[in-house]
């Protein structure tokens, strides 16, 4: 009798423990997955945060140089094929970086090519020399620059590259967003917003060139030269929000926040023509 009672007590405790684990699993929120995405004219493309960083950098560089969105489409499609839009340190023979450029082929030194700003600039330099690239098929234009053994491979990335280029160059407003986890305030420290402000201003200037701006308390307000530049900058800020400590971006009656990032761009009470970048 005593053994039977002990057995039932053990079983009961086991049920309670399992029930507690299941209850906690069901009631505690799952860890938020981090990614970025664009949805343009029925095409949906998703990237991780590293890919979003370099795709947004490509678009910003094209904008700064006054190149058309098609140039950005060609560059992003090429980066997808060559590196999956990652700044990799390896490749075929001495190929490295976003576009698998080779020091032995005159693209620059290994150190230079591994600087994504330099690599993107060199790609656009070469593309600008391709006669008729604005109307040429994307895969043919990419091949003119890359001279790859697999020249037709770029075509498979065309649809997604077009969608990303349209969003990140500002031609499709409020179509690019990221879902991220926000760091705890303690992780940022007292100087977090000050350090973020310096880094944001430095990176925006390097990517876009000089844009009129004003430093605010825990924010930077940019005055773009038109809606297209405004949305290009707003999308760039969102694409790099996790890395730069950005917790909100607002522009033209829309607002994105890191805390509510799964909701994407939502309607805002403010319709300011400034791109306001809030810092943690």
Q: What is the mean pLDDT of residues 113-125?
A: 98
In a domain, 23, yes or no: no
Residue labelled with tokens 């994105």:
256
- Check whether residue 217 and residue 269 sit in a common domain: yes
- Check whether residue 63 and residue 147 sit in a common domain: yes
Name the token pair of 29: 């929120």
Residue ending a domain, among 111, 133, 168, is 168
pLDDT attached to residue 184:
55
pLDDT attached to residue 6:
44
In a domain, 30, yes or no: no
Residue 207 binned pLDDT confidence (cut-offs 50, 70, 90): very high
Quote the CA–CA distance of 140 and 155 in Å, as a whole number. Answer: 9
CB atoms within 10 A of CB 20: 10
Q: What is the mean pLDDT of residues 155-164?
A: 97
- Check whether residue 59 and residue 92 sit in a common domain: yes
More confident residue, 187 or 68: 68
- CA dist 144 to 86, 117, 139, 150, 203, Å? 21, 21, 9, 12, 30
pLDDT attached to residue 155:
94
Residue ending a domain, among 142, 168, 194, is 168
User: How many domains are there within the chain?
Assistant: 2
- Check whether residue 200 and residue 92 sit in a common domain: no
160 Cβ neighbours under 8 A, 6+ residues apart: 43, 45, 76, 77, 80
In a domain, 175, yes or no: no
In a domain, 26, yes or no: no
Quickly list DSSP for 169-204.
TTSSTT-EEEE-PPPPHHHH-TTHHHHHHHHHHHHH
pLDDT attached to residue 144:
95
In a domain, 99, yes or no: yes
Q: Which domain holds residue 118?
A: 48-168
- Check whether residue 135 and residue 198 sit in a common domain: no
Residue 195 binned pLDDT confidence (cut-offs 50, 70, 90): confident
- Check whether residue 61 and residue 96 sit in a common domain: yes
Q: What is the mean pLDDT of residues 222-243?
A: 97
- Check whether residue 55 and residue 131 sit in a common domain: yes
In a domain, 139, yes or no: yes
Quote the CA–CA distance of 71 and 76 in Å, as a whole number. Answer: 9
Residue ending a domain, among 143, 168, 193, is 168
pLDDT attached to residue 30:
54
Residue 270 binned pLDDT confidence (cut-offs 50, 70, 90): confident
Residue 115 binned pLDDT confidence (cut-offs 50, 70, 90): very high
Q: What is the mean pLDDT of residues 120-129?
A: 98
- Check whether residue 93 and residue 200 sit in a common domain: no
Give the single-character DSSP code of 154. G
- Check whether residue 111 and residue 214 sit in a common domain: no
- CA dist 140 to 38, 117, 221, 278, Å? 25, 24, 40, 41
Q: What is the mean pLDDT of residues 24-45?
A: 77
- Check whether residue 52 and residue 125 sit in a common domain: yes
In a domain, 61, yes or no: yes
Lowest mean pLDDT among 103-107, 121-125, 195-199, 248-252: 195-199
CB atoms within 10 A of CB 136: 16
- Check whether residue 103 and residue 147 sit in a common domain: yes
- Check whether residue 161 and residue 190 sit in a common domain: no
Report whether pLDDT(58) > 90. yes
Report whether pLDDT(22) > 50. no
Pair 71, 62: CB distance under 8 Å = yes
205 Cβ neighbours under 8 A, 6+ residues apart: 211
Residue 11 binned pLDDT confidence (cut-offs 50, 70, 90): very low
Any alpha helices (H) in 130-174, and if so which ranges? 138-146, 158-168
Residues 36-53 have pLDDT tens digits of 999 999 999 999 999 999
Please choose, from the candidates 64, 52, 62, the residue with its C-alpha nearest in 3D space to the C-alpha of residue 176: 52
Max intra-chain CA distance, the chain:
94
In a domain, 207, yes or no: yes
pLDDT attached to residue 192:
56
């Amino acid at each position: 009798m005593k053994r039977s009672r002990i057995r039932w007590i053990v079983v009961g405790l086991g049920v309670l423990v399992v029930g507690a684990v299941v209850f906690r699993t069901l009631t505690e929120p799952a860890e938020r997955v981090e990614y970025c995405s664009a949805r343009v004219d029925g095409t949906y493309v998703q990237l991780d945060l590293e890919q979003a960083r370099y795709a947004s950098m490509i678009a910003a560089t094209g904008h700064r140089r006054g190149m058309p969105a098609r140039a950005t489409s060609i560059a992003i499609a090429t980066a997808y094929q060559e590196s999956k839009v990652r700044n990799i340190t390896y490749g075929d023979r001495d190929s490295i970086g976003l576009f698998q450029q080779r020091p032995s082929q005159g693209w620059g030194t290994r150190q230079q090519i591994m600087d994504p700003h330099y690599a993107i600039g060199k790609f656009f330099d070469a593309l600008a020399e391709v006669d008729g690239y604005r109307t040429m098929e994307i895969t043919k234009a990419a091949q003119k620059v890359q001279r790859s053994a697999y020249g037709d491979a770029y075509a498979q990335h065309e649809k997604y590259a077009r969608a990303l280029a349209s969003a990140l160059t500002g031609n499709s407003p409020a179509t690019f967003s990221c879902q991220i986890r926000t760091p705890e305030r303690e992780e940022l420290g007292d100087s977090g917003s000050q350090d973020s402000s310096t880094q944001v201003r430095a990176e925006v200037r390097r990517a876009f060139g000089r844009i009129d701006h004003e430093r605010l308390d825990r924010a930077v307000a940019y005055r773009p030269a038109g809606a297209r530049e405004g949305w290009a900058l707003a999308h760039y800020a969102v694409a790099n929000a996790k890395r730069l400590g950005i917790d909100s971006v607002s522009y033209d009656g829309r607002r994105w926040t890191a805390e509510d990032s799964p909701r994407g761009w939502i309607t805002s009470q403010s319709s300011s023509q400034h791109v306001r970048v809030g810092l943690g």
